[in-house]
Structure 1
């Protein structure tokens, strides 16, 4: 099984006959033995919002009740990232929120269309499909054919596969709001979930009480710029790792005093020659993504030493929910010549790490029908309370440059807070980031322009 494209399990898929769409209250019940104070339900929604009286499906939802009901503020809806992450796991586990949030909010989330418990398709890509990094026109043609064959399988097992873009899921979120009986919502989007938040704020600005966009996805980028900035963000995090290793002792970084860049180049050259089979050179080049996003610098140093001894690591997780992502992202690459130009853009931006996540995105969506359902566009958001953006300055997945660009598009309807540290995801990093987000969501206290939080020591 190739790790590029997400594999889904069929859990609770249901298609009902045509009928009028309503947003009924949710019939909450037990969550398969999950903790007390957490309940689950399904919400019936139209497959296609352009046909609200047509076929329906069931969206799975979880809710954790506020710990201190007498001080309850309202409902906080968590918008999951990935795309492909389960949102239901967050209220069930309760691990993505401060204690004050757990006390003051009913916390609700959901599995978006095609994810986990919500109309997930059963489909598997060809085991012999071309590699992520294509070598010639024959590889390019084979990748397009393999993607289209895979999507045909997915469509046959999930009615929502062609209706899973972020603008459509935003409609689902508002139906969830109605079912919860809330006039307005507090929302917190993480990573790709920030695109769900942007689309919701654009379509339903009057229904936003407050919104946090953490690790901000920028939807208004040409393909080449998307790939370049993705690669540059990973390169920046690699540079920060190298600088850290030079500052600390050998006890903290096993590569202290060595030429890390030369060692890493040697590892990638060996990967090109097949030293780490069955892992491909792209998979080896992608290993920094998982370890730098936390960041786990000592572990990354240990991994480089392991690879330098020709010991292959476990394969990295490179799954992408293509039904969602390809509905938002036009991988408009005509042929291998155009593809090779994009590959060079990534390599020039990231001489040490080569690719970044952008080339995975291109590979995932090559051959998707055009135009996409939710094409990139300049945001038009007019919420009453400014949207709060928070992003690490050194984020290997969602570039700090993206957060600045989205904040500029929002203008007075947005406010960017910079976490002056490292990693993907900033909210629970420090007391400052926690307090900034909590005071905004609970008290509607908007930070001043230019606000920042220092890096964790």
Structure 2
């Protein structure tokens, strides 16, 4: 078979026809919202095969002001989009203008929340300290996955984000929308990126808030995650230096933190890192500084991804313990021994290769550029990821920078919020290089 014929087959396979509309039967489910469950294929290459329940929720616009539907992509992976719509405290992430003018719809991704959830045990600590532990971790992971595969069936290996993209396109069709208007947050940005790549003509507008860079391989993933966490810690230290109310003001923040790490036992090092990571999310600089000053740091868990989703999306193989040790050591941060990348490696160690939705550089060609919004100091989806995704998108993407800190930026700045709303409502794209 010639290269040309192979490419023709690939292009034909990629040109997937729009799914037939699926009837939606809405019922009231709280917060003036309606919920429904769509029966969709577990495996989109076999649309007549086994189905799963895809749970969705919507909050309707004011009829006289309605301009269309906005689909919100939740993060995690493992966050519930249905909960964003039905919980008033989470629904306030949208501006009143968007609430008035869009039907706002969200979903629980396959394998998450109320969409055939697939909880599967993960290791208590992601850090591996010996060759024996490395081999044991692979055995434990694979034993857990075999049990989960038996419990959850074929959805286990079809929980990837590219399959969720097909689910979203079925939802778009069922809602009667010719094109998709989408706002993805954190891990939800991966769905937005892949949707725009897969269905450019069906894409109206896509916001990527705290972008995921799905081009990174094992070493790059660890390196970029470590950079993001160190950058956020540096921003915290600079805030303490400049803020008299900081409990560590006038002290060497880096030295104070290092003293805590030096006094910690091996099992406590990850807990301290996870706590620092969580403290940078909001960010809670004042609380974190006070905890360091007193040495009384309340243990917080790091965000735990849903295994079936994350490990189907990321090929992060590590050959042996020597390779693992080199990767962890060479990608350690100056102030924090580990980043969230270490959790990702440990969670998926031993996962069958190739994965369902492997990493690649984006190839997006939409009429309206995608809008990326990112804090300058984000501990999880770092500014380095946003810049990388923007570079991959080229003229089909524009990065709007929030000159602040934290994971997520839409609700941290009136400037960012106004720009996003103008983009979603009117397709007004900010100037390149805009900083809020």
Fold agreement, TM-score > 0.5: yes
> For the Cα contact (< 8 Å) 2:291–2:297, is it kept in 1?
no
The structural deviation recorded for 1:23 is 3.9
The structural deviation recorded for 1:259 is 2.4
The structural deviation recorded for 1:121 is 2.2
Alignment deviations for residues 111-138 of structure 1 (CA, whole Å, 9 cap, x no partner)? 001111111125435xxx5731111110
Runs of 4+ in 1 over 6 A off after TM superposition: none
Q: 1:375 to 1:273 in 2, by over 3 A?
A: closer
Q: 1:312 to 1:390 in 2, by over 3 A?
A: closer
> For the Cα contact (< 8 Å) 1:122–1:153, is it kept in 2?
no
**Structure 2 residue matching 1:70: 3-state secondary structure:** coil
Alignment deviations for residues 189-220 of structure 1 (CA, whole Å, 9 cap, x no partner)? 01111101111111111111111001011001
Q: CA RMSD in A?
A: 1.5
**Out of 48, 51, 60, which is 1:56 matched to?**
51
> For the Cα contact (< 8 Å) 1:212–1:390, is it kept in 2?
yes
* Residue 165 of structure 2 corresponds to residue 178 of structure 1: no
* Residue 223 of structure 2 corresponds to residue 266 of structure 1: no
Distance in 1, Cα, partners of 2:303 & 2:430: 35
Equivalent residue runs for 1:352-371 within 5 Å: 352-371=335-354
* Residue 337 of structure 2 corresponds to residue 331 of structure 1: no
Distance in 2, Cα, partners of 1:35 & 1:226: 39
* Residue 397 of structure 2 corresponds to residue 409 of structure 1: no
* Residue 284 of structure 2 corresponds to residue 296 of structure 1: yes
**Structure 1 residue matching 2:264: 3-state secondary structure:** helix
The structural deviation recorded for 1:283 is 1.6
Distance in 2, Cα, partners of 1:143 & 1:27: 45
> For the Cα contact (< 8 Å) 2:361–2:392, is it kept in 1?
yes
**Out of 166, 179, 188, which is 2:183 matched to?**
188
> For the Cα contact (< 8 Å) 2:85–2:105, is it kept in 1?
yes
**Out of 13, 34, 42, which is 1:39 matched to?**
34
**Structure 1 residue matching 2:157: 3-state secondary structure:** coil
**Structure 2 residue matching 1:227: 3-state secondary structure:** helix
1:254 corresponds to:
247
Alignment deviations for residues 325-369 of structure 1 (CA, whole Å, 9 cap, x no partner)? 11111121010011011101221xx11012111111101110100
1:322 corresponds to:
307
Alignment deviations for residues 57-81 of structure 1 (CA, whole Å, 9 cap, x no partner)? 1011000001x22121100000011
* Residue 222 of structure 2 corresponds to residue 227 of structure 1: yes
Distance in 1, Cα, partners of 2:41 & 2:292: 49
> For the Cα contact (< 8 Å) 1:82–1:321, is it kept in 2?
yes
Q: Normalized against structure 1, the TM-score is what?
A: 0.88
Equivalent residue runs for 1:7-406 within 5 Å: 23-31=21-29, 34-36=30-32, 38-66=33-61, 68-93=62-87, 94-125=91-122, 131-159=125-153, 160-249=155-244, 252-272=245-265, 280-306=268-294, 308=295, 311=296, 313-347=298-332, 350-406=333-389
Distance in 2, Cα, partners of 1:366 & 1:322: 11
Distance in 1, Cα, partners of 2:377 & 2:297: 27
> For the Cα contact (< 8 Å) 1:130–1:142, is it kept in 2?
no
Unpaired runs of at least 5, structure 1: 1-20, 275-279
Distance in 1, Cα, partners of 2:119 & 2:418: 42
